[in-house]
Amino acid sequence: MAQLMNTIAGTYERCQSEGVGISRNLIRELALSGTIPTVLVGKNTRLINFDVLMNFLNTGTPEKKPDYNAGDIRRIEVR
């Protein structure tokens, strides 16, 4: 079973093994620009969710990010 989250190099290798025509540099640019969400692990290592990358490549649109940050206090509208 393939890993769902992987580094840029690992994601590139999985794309090659599954026949997805994408370069390592494009994956890196998408991750660093924030077009696809990543998880920063350590100082420079970013993990990419393979399903999110495939969804982006299939639809051409990034996943919608929530309008709030985790841990922030949000206003709840009273009905």
Amino acid at 53: L
pLDDT in tens, 24-56: 999 999 999 989 989 999 888 999 999 999 999
Count other Cβ atoms within 10 Å, centred on residue 38: 21
Going by C-alpha positions, the residue among 59, 64, 76 that lies closest to residue 34 is 64
Location of structure tokens 């290798």: 13
Residue 4 banded pLDDT, cuts 50, 70, 90: confident
Q: Which of these ranges, 5-9, 44-48, 61-65, has the smallest mean pLDDT?
A: 61-65
CB 34 within 8 A of CB 65: no
